[in-house]
Chains A and B, each alone.
Chain A
């Protein structure tokens, strides 16, 4: 698999780790090699090492790439892995419009040449009460927002997934209204934890995980982390989001991980970490309380779920 120069991470340990992955070794080996390599990160990695519990262990490449919710490729967890082979993530452009100085379309390569790709190891908590720990590569969304030059009137950011029913068989069926849409408040979008990811485990982003570029907002349920983004709009009103439109009584705009606010059909108090036998307690804001709780201090989280 070809890896772009821009996606090579600055960390020695990571390069070592990637050699194993490039040889596409068995996932079992991956799991043991990588998790021990990760623990040896040496420079300024506090932004994520601090945010992971000592009990957190990386999920394997196989787990991360064969168990996905990406309805564009089908509604079963294995569908994205099985049905995404025809998807062509290159070339890729991202259209920037709405309340910006100048609406424009960026070539992905151009964006990547202007940002620093870094490692971010995050917990991902799905609204369905399972979770994983994923080593992403990407850059802070705030960097792209700076490039986009939004007007001061812009209070929200909306994201749209690509619509290509011929390459994404799930889009041939009206399970949800295509294209998939998501959104963030501007301060959430600017938070240093919020990234646009372009790779995982040192690979270019696999198709089933949202190639070539996707959002990762680790303190929110996974469905907020929209995949295969082609358009970003800056707005002054709260944008429509796909799951909220589909079932507003179940999925809110905020979708912050919150063990105290249950989904109407199941409890959010616990979760199954993929690869583990016993359920774990779900953490407030998925364990990123320190970084993001201040964003919501005036918000009733039971009402704005």
Chain B
């Protein structure tokens, strides 16, 4: 049995582990060690990291159904916020480095291209999630409403994986794996929901 304390203690280590890639890529970018097309590489790495972290937050919820891992939810918020952190870096790389603040072009791009649209909506949905991720906000909103807001993570995950899927030109294996994991995690939740009332009887 892992206690809440165990998981809380792992937080500083997790924090550094998850933060580290962004610092490394920033360093590599500045020193010119991110390969031949560094802006593309930076954007890809940041986006992929964000998607993986989003999937991990969904996994944590599922894992917490297993008795010994019940307390794992205490690390979920941090990972969710890190997902937001990486999405913000990903998005600002797109705006600043890739398109040099050409706002008119960017707006066109977001409206006209489905994969950018998916990514952008996903980013927008993450904002209310991130901004209500404090104990204080849970109290102010009430747990029920707060929980409702946080259901947004499902469209976020689906849109983010579609954003990746559409972007890939030929070998769709990796995005399909991510989509598969997301679908499995969602199916598990639906299954749980459907079986719950029966258990109560």
Chain A residues within CB distance 8 Å of chain B: 62-63, 66-67, 71, 75, 77-78, 128, 130, 173, 175-176, 246, 262, 264-267, 270, 272, 274-275, 277-279
Q: List 10 A-B contacts (CB under 8 A).
A: A71-B170, A77-B37, A128-B169, A173-B171, A176-B170, A264-B113, A267-B109, A267-B113, A272-B37, A279-B98
Question: Chain B, 88-132, contact with A by CB distance < 8 Å: what is the 0/1 string?
Answer: 000000000111100001001100111100000000000000000
Name the residue on B nearest A128 (C-beta).
B169
Closest to A81 in B: B36
Whether A246 and B115, one on each chain, are in contact in the complex, defined by CB atoms closer than 8 angstroms, is no
Of A67, A71, A272, which one neighbours B35 at CB under 8 angstroms? A67
Chain A residues with CB under 8 Å of B99's CB are 279
Q: Are A78 and B35 closer than 8 Å at their CB atoms?
A: yes
B interface residues, how many (CB within 8 angstroms): 21
Output the nearest chain B residue to A251 by Cβ-Cβ distance. Answer: B169
Q: Please give the distance in Å from B67's CB to the nearest CB on chain A.
A: 41
- The answer to whether B39 has its CB under 8 Å from any CB of chain A is yes
Residues of B within 8 A of A63 (CB): 36
Of the candidates B35, B37, B97, B115, the one whose C-beta lies within 8 Å of that of A130 is: B37
Task: Answer yes or no: B19 CB below 8 A from chain A CBs.
Answer: no
Contacts of A75 in B (CB 8 A): 169-171
B100-A279 in contact (CB<8A) = yes
Interface residues of chain B, those whose CB is within 8 Å of chain A, are 35-37, 39-40, 97-100, 105, 108-109, 112-115, 166-167, 169-171
Cβ B113 vs Cβ A265 within 8 A: yes
A62–B33 Cα distance when bound, in Å, is: 13
A272 and B39 in contact (CB under 8 A), knowing A173-B171, A278-B100, A279-B100? yes
B36 touches A67 (CB 8 A): yes
The 6 closest A-B pairs by CB, nearest first: A67-B36, A75-B171, A175-B170, A175-B171, A63-B36, A274-B36
Interface of B is mostly: helix
Q: Do B40 and A130 touch across chains, with their CB atoms under 8 A apart?
A: yes
Question: Measured between alpha carbons, how far is A265 from B35 in the docked complex, in Å?
Answer: 24
CA distance A278 to B39 in the complex (A): 10
List of A residues within 8 angstroms of B40 by Cβ: 130, 272
Residues of A close to B170: CB separation below 8 A: 71, 75, 175-176, 246
Least distance between B187 CB and chain A CB atoms (Å) = 28
Q: A173 CA to B172 CA in the complex, in Å?
A: 12
Q: Which residues of chain A come closer than 8 Å to B108, judged between CB atoms?
A: 267
Q: In the complex, what distance in Å separates the CA atom of A270 from the CA atom of B112?
A: 16
Residues of B within 8 A of A67 (CB): 35-37
A130–B98 CA distance with the chains assembled, in angstroms:
12
Of residues B105, B108, B112, B170, which shows the largest number of chain A Cβ atoms within 10 Å of its Cβ? Answer: B170
Closest to B115 in A: A265
Task: Report A173 CB to chain B, min CB distance, Å.
Answer: 7
Chain B residues near A130: list those with CB within 8 A.
Answer: 37, 40
A277 CA / B42 CA spacing, docked (Å) = 13
Check A265–B100 contact: CB distance below 8 A.
no
Q: Which of B35, B37, B39, B113 contacts A266 (CB 8 A)?
A: B113
Q: How far does the Cβ of A91 sit from chain B's closest Cβ, in whole Å?
A: 30
**A87 to B: closest C-beta gap in Å:** 20
16 further A-B contacts with Cβ under 8 Å, apart from A78-B35, A267-B105, are A66-B35, A67-B35, A67-B36, A77-B35, A77-B36, A128-B169, A130-B40, A175-B170, A262-B112, A264-B113, A265-B166, A266-B113, A267-B108, A272-B98, A274-B37, A279-B99
Contacts of A279 in B (CB 8 A): 98-100
Q: Determine the distance from Cα of A68 to Cα of B147 in the docked complex, in whole angstroms.
A: 47
